[in-house]
Amino acid sequence: MGKPTGFLEYKRETAKVEAPKDRIKHFNEFRTPLKKEEQQKQGARCMECGVPFCQAGTMIAGMASGCPLHNLVPELNDLVYHGNWEQAYTRLTKTHCFPEFTCRVCPALCEAACTCNLDSQPVSTKENERAIIETAYANGWVTPRIPKVRTGKKVAVVGSGPSGLATAMQLNRRGHQVTVFERKDRIGGLLRYGIPNMKLDKSVIDRRIKLMEEEGVVFKTGVDVGKDITAKELQKDFDRIVLCCGASNPRDIKVPGREANNIFFAVDYLSSITKSLLDSNFKDKNFVSAKGKHVVVIGGGDTGNDCVGTAIRLGAKSVTQLEMMPKAPDERTEMNPWPEWPRICKTDYGQEEAIAVFGHDPRIYQTTVTEFIKDDKGNVQKAKLVKLEPKKDEKTGRMNMVPVEGSETIIEAQLVLIAAGFLGSQKYVTDAFKVDLTPRTNVATKPDQYETSVPGVFTAGDMHRGQSLVVWAIREGRKAAEAVDASLMGYSNL
Ligand SMILES: Cc1cc2nc3c(=O)[nH]c(=O)nc-3n(C[C@H](O)[C@H](O)[C@H](O)COP(=O)(O)OP(=O)(O)OC[C@H]3O[C@@H](n4cnc5c(N)ncnc54)[C@H](O)[C@@H]3O)c2cc1C
Ligand code: SF4
Ligand code: SF4
């Protein structure tokens, strides 16, 4: 333990965040990390607990607690405190493929599980992670790791999100020849075309892809597997296939008027904006505009929050975010003790921006849409809402949210964004490979395994786990790579 009294001497300090009214003028990242010496003090706050829940990555009460990658958090924090940046970087790469992504977008399961929560504030492990990886890049320590020996085995990875990238990195470093197929025009999956640029600057992905290309991974964009190339062709050309296609089936809102113009799924909306930003800095105007519109976002989660922040940057007149469920408590309840994941109300960057610009939280709880009203040109103009209340289903005993009679209201809605979650894998890919599915249409495997019902075809990420997080996708990619390697070589040292 670096500094036994560190957690008593130093308060938690985190990056400087640009004021909401300033940051909405651009699409850049808006956090300025602490200076190195200040970050080192944050490392000193870690108590190197005997039982470090921060790195446990276990399920407690149905939710993950601690880092799913089992990052060596106490050791990393200690190395940060002592300024041993190079060793910290080496240690971090033992468990992690892409710290530069998680240090920007991870909800920091490590921090939620940190023992310091009990009496104070958690160690800033996520920002320590950022300091380690960015120091490593700045000092030229992140170099291509080209395998010395090639095995002659060929692996196809379908999908270039974080799970596909982690699979590809690991298998290539082991000496297998890896080709990643991506149907979009750019690599990255939802890192690229879901998560907005202000949360993850897309140059951070490009920097990593360049290194992976130098290591020998081949990337093929604009290839839709199951359409442009058949499963049979892929199975003939490659020894193993790993399906990492995400959970890209959005949940729809099936109410009268749904066919009106200007109602989009959140990811289609967000990706149109990032693509236009990357292609032409918005000069091509090839994106869904929110300018001067009353925007309604359906879904109170993180994707909905990204839609709120994006619509505000694009000049929305107002933004309303609808959430079916009641507001979560502001603090942990007795039923949700540490180190469980805290089920509390989080006000994220988009909501903060809405509060700064419009003077109130954009979220309306226990509310849903019952109808979209359009004008004579077919454009959505208004949304009919109804309040919901929890009611127990007598047959199943389950709590359902049911409409409150007489509670209907109508609000302006000239752009509607549906961020109501995802429903598993896409049928044309799973049909093409004839893999078995779970009842939730995720690709089925035995528990904690990655090979599908079709020998030689593996799966990882959201396509396997269901809609989740970047950190889980990376873990799945690493685990799937290990399974593929073992199936090719008879053992794996990954
Ligand atoms: C708007 C939004 C914001 C999010 N924000 C966060 C966040 O802040 N933090 C966080 O941890 N998580 C976040 N998530 C979740 C996170 O992005 C996902 O859990 C993660 O990206 C899943 O990784 P994946 O590799 O399994 O799939 P994906 O990232 O979905 O990548 C799948 C890739 O496969 C490609 N593909 C699919 N089918 C084919 C095919 N037939 N042929 C070729 N290519 C194909 C797709 O085009 C896509 O590029 C967010 C999700 C969304 C939608
Ligand atoms: S990957 Fe996420 S949970 Fe793991 S240490 Fe980093 S920020 Fe924490
Ligand atoms: S739980 Fe917190 S204080 Fe304990 S080792 Fe982990 S980061 Fe350090």
- Domain shared by 352 and 298, yes or no: yes
Structural domain includes residue 145: no
- Domain shared by 391 and 458, yes or no: no
Structural domain includes residue 332: yes
Supply the CATH number for residue 292's domain.
Answer: 3.50.50.60
pLDDT digits (tens, 9 = 90+) for 158-203: 999 999 999 999 999 999 999 999 999 999 999 999 999 999 999 9
Q: What average pLDDT does the chain have?
A: 97
Instruction: Using the 3D structure, point to which of 401, 418, 435 is the last residue of a domain.
Output: 418
- Domain shared by 19 and 119, yes or no: yes
Nearest ligand, CA 304: 1
- Domain shared by 341 and 473, yes or no: no
Domain count within the chain: 3
Taking the CA of residue 270 as reference, the ligand 1 atom at the shortest distance is 1
pLDDT digits (tens, 9 = 90+) for 309-359: 999 999 999 999 999 999 999 999 999 999 999 999 999 999 999 999 999
Ligand 3 contacts CB of residue 180 (under 6 A): no
Nearest ligand, CA 66: 2
* β-bridge partners, 95: none
Structural domain includes residue 255: no
Taking the CA of residue 159 as reference, the ligand 1 atom at the shortest distance is 34
- Domain shared by 271 and 412, yes or no: yes
Supply the CATH number for residue 43's domain.
Answer: 1.10.1060.10
16: Cα within 13 Å, side-chain hemisphere: 5
Q: Which of 234, 211, 419, 203 is nearest to 322 (CA)?
A: 419
Ligand 3 contacts CB of residue 74 (under 6 A): yes
Which three-class secondary structure state does DSSP give residue 199? Answer: coil
Residues with CB under 6 A from ligand 2: 67, 69, 71, 73, 102, 106, 108-110, 125-126, 129, 471
Structural domain includes residue 146: no
pLDDT digits (tens, 9 = 90+) for 286-312: 999 999 999 999 999 999 999 999 999
Q: What is the DSSP letter of 3?
A: -
Instruction: Using the 3D structure, point to which of 91, 111, 138 is the last residue of a domain.
Output: 138
- Domain shared by 38 and 130, yes or no: yes
Q: Residue 441 C-alpha to ligand 2 middle, in angstroms?
A: 28
Q: Which of 100, 116, 295, 130 is nearest to 206 (CA)?
A: 100
Q: Report the DSSP pairing between strands 457-459 and 240-243.
A: parallel
- Domain shared by 31 and 130, yes or no: yes
Nearest ligand, CA 462: 1
- Domain shared by 367 and 298, yes or no: yes
Ligand 3 contacts CB of residue 423 (under 6 A): no
CA of residue 415 relative to chain centroid, distance: 24
Taking the CA of residue 7 as reference, the ligand 3 atom at the shortest distance is 3
Structural domain includes residue 408: yes
Could you give the residue ranges of the DSSP H alpha helices within 59-123? Answer: 73-81, 85-95, 99-105, 109-112
Structural domain includes residue 315: yes
pLDDT digits (tens, 9 = 90+) for 464-493: 999 999 999 999 999 999 999 999 999 999
Range of the domain at 26: 6-138
Ligand 3 contacts CB of residue 262 (under 6 A): no
Residues with CB under 6 A from ligand 1: 105-106, 158-164, 181-184, 189-191, 194-195, 199, 224-226, 244-246, 248, 266-267, 270, 302-303, 306, 429, 461-463, 468-471, 473
- Domain shared by 337 and 393, yes or no: yes
Residue entry with tokens 């990886």: 133
pLDDT of 15 above 70: yes
Give the H/E segment covering residue 356. helix 349-358
Which of 101, 109, 127, 478 maximizes ligand 2 atoms within 8 Å of its Cβ, making it the mutation to test the pocket? 109
- Domain shared by 411 and 271, yes or no: yes
- Domain shared by 296 and 385, yes or no: yes
- pLDDT at position 236 is 97
Instruction: Using the 3D structure, point to which of 96, 113, 138 is the last residue of a domain.
Output: 138
* β-bridge partners, 387: 367
- Domain shared by 372 and 284, yes or no: yes
Structural domain includes residue 231: yes
Structural domain includes residue 110: yes
The answer to whether 250 and 418 are in contact (CB under 8 A) is yes
